[in-house]
Amino acid sequence: MSNLVKNQHYVPQRYLKYFANNIIKKGKTIARLNIFDKEKAQIRYNQNVESIASERFFYDVNFETLIKEAEEEEIDIEQEYIDLVNHVDKQTIEHTFATKVETTMFNPIAEIVTSYIMLKKEAYLYTSVIHESKKPTIAYYLSLQLIRTKEFREKLIQIHEKVPSLLIRKNLSGEIEEELLNNVKFKLKKSRINMYHNQALLDTERIQEYSMCFLNHIWFIAVNETPISFCTSDNPLVLYGHLGENGIKSKGVEIVFPISSKLALIMRELEYFNNDIYLNNKFVDVDESFVLYCNSLQVHQSYRCIFSNNKDFVFAKKIIEENPKLKNTKRDRFLIC
């Protein structure tokens, strides 16, 4: 295929460019970011956005491998389904993101940045930022971004690998030798991982449900005029449950999606944050403590890397030093008691 895409982004380049420094090289503008790698506790400076938050053939499903594995497991597949594989676009997800999600669907978010540049500060609380007709598009975009990342994929892997082991331990503890229970492990094949991830990305009912949750919250745009930049990460949509529950529709949940180094979309659950209704759909000035709070969520909930136009990652280093388990990309995402 002439349009085969090898390097596939799970955080779009167009989005990342809003956090980048532009460098002119041989007459060409190149967007570069600074990266804090949690796993290595290491900073990499001036990295090209093209090579960030991406992986070779990240979304591709290898149907031939799936069929071969099914045959090895003596699972019958009708020949007509096998013949259909040759007509399937194995890069459906990648092509959809490139032609629709990262273009048309991202446009309303880009318009927020333009509005910020054009609007005078004294008009913040008197101006609606997002036209109501465009909010559903943004909500759908955010739902896809939530699902498309490596962090979400790791959760899928752990659901299929670690959760069954934990359930066995919970139910058979005391009946079977501890050593034997410790050796019970499930390993998900890579071909299945991509298939399960694609299923989630094509589950329009789930995505629509997420979108409706977002739309039911109070939205406002945090404006950061402090010396500290908003950072983002390889898992940019982050949540904090002020009452301890971190679901996207949990009472007391606050959702943060950085838009640029100066702007972040904040979504707050309506019942708990009822007093903030007056902020809905407005630009709101925030102080350094709020910016640091948002940035700390990126460090805690990123899969591995934090991105910024700023070279100072002191706050990230401190968080990692205090929470060394965050360095482990395979850390447990689920707790079963």
> What residue segments make up the domains of the chain, in order of their start?
63-89
Are β-strands 218-224 and 283-286 bridged in parallel, bridged antiparallel, or unpaired?
A: parallel
pLDDT of residue 336: 47
User: 9 — alpha (psi -120 to 50), left (phi > 0) or beta?
Assistant: beta
168-172, 276-280, 298-302, 306-310: the lowest-pLDDT one: 168-172
Q: What is the mean pLDDT of residues 144-150?
A: 97
Q: Please report the pLDDT score of residue 3 as a whole number.
A: 72
Two tokens at 185?
């492990």
Of 108-112, 180-184, 303-307, 314-318, which gets the smallest average pLDDT? Answer: 180-184
Choose between 159 and 222: higher pLDDT. Answer: 222
pLDDT of residue 1: 46
Number of alpha carbons in the 13 Å side-chain half-sphere of residue 105: 18
Place of tokens 């066995």: 168
Give the chain's radius of gyration (CA, Å). Answer: 22
Mean pLDDT of 76-80: 64
> How confident is the model at residue 122, as a pLDDT?
93
Rounded-to-integer distance, Cα 77 and Cα 133, Å: 45
Rounded to whole angstroms, the Cα distance separating 332 from 336 reads 10
Backbone angles phi, psi at 320, to 5 degrees: -65, -40
- How do strand 305-308 and strand 218-224 relate by DSSP bridges? unpaired
* Tokens of residue 61, six digits: 């499903």
| Residue 205 buriedness (CB in 10 A; 0-12 / 13-18 / 19+) | exposed
Does the pLDDT of residue 27 top 90, yes or no?
no
Q: How far apart are CA 124 and CA 285, in angstroms?
A: 9
What is the distance in angstroms between the CA of the first residue and the CA of the last residue of the chain?
49
pLDDT tens track for 204-218:
999 999 999 999 999
Residue owning tokens 């899969």: 303
